[in-house]
Amino acid sequence: MSEQEKSAAQQRIDNAVYGTPKIKPDEQRKYLGTFRERVCLTISVQELQEQDWTKALTAELDRGIGNLVFINGNLPHDEIHPYIQTAAKDNAQFTLKTDPEYKTDLDSLAVVVAAKTAVYQSPVDVKKRYPNLVNSNNSTTEKTNDQHQSFFHHLFHRKDRG
């Protein structure tokens, strides 16, 4: 067996044992499984907690460049649910990424909109891409109070109560 054949055979064995090696694994980990050149929009965990960015997500999907939405599924469901609903409503393909390699630190990404091929969009950060949607008061307390009020409003003010 030649050296080249051994190398190919060893590569197949290594792939079977360890899995196929990833290209740019750190980049893929940061962008929830995709490459930077495919990314159209990013929303960090901190940005997600500061305000509702579903309008920015809709606007980005309406542009028609990227229709793949990757959502960090390791975040609490109540934080990501509006983005799942928005992606579904806008007929985007969305994937929840729940591997432990996707972190939930404030600087980690919560939502990534991407295309199937390279599009080289810049900027991709939601605050820079949609500055007109940035809340001037960025209060997480108000968002939390609205969510609690909505829950209780839903609970006690049902239309089907007789």
* CATH, residue 130: 3.30.1330.30
Decide if 5 is inside a domain. Answer: no
In a domain, 151, yes or no: yes
> Which of 81, 57, 62 is CA-nearest to residue 147?
81
pLDDT tens digit string along 22-73?
Answer: 778 788 889 999 999 999 999 999 999 999 999 999 999 999 999 999 999 9
pLDDT at position 158: 47
Identify whether 121 is part of a domain: yes
- Whether 118 contacts 74, CB under 8 Å: no
Residue environment code for 13-49, b if the CB has 16+ CB neighbours within 10 A, otherwise e: eeeeeeeeeeeeeeeebbbbbbebebbbbbbbbebbb
Q: Which residue range is the domain that position 126 belongs to? A: 23-156
- pTM, two decimals, is 0.73
Query: In the prediction, which pLDDT does 145 show?
Result: 46
**Given pLDDT bands bounded at 50, 70 and 90, which one contains residue 135?**
confident
User: Which residues in 49-150 belong to E strands, given as ranges?
Assistant: 68-72, 93-97, 109-114
Looking at residue 53, its pLDDT comes to 97
Assess whether pLDDT exceeds 80 at residue 153. Answer: no
How many domains does the chain divide into?
Answer: 1
Residue 137 in any domain: the answer is: yes
Is 76 inside any structural domain?
yes
8 falls within a domain:
no
Mean pLDDT computed over 104-119: 96
For residue 3, being part of any structural domain is answered with: no
**Mean pLDDT of all residues belonging to the chain:** 84
Does 9 map to a domain? no
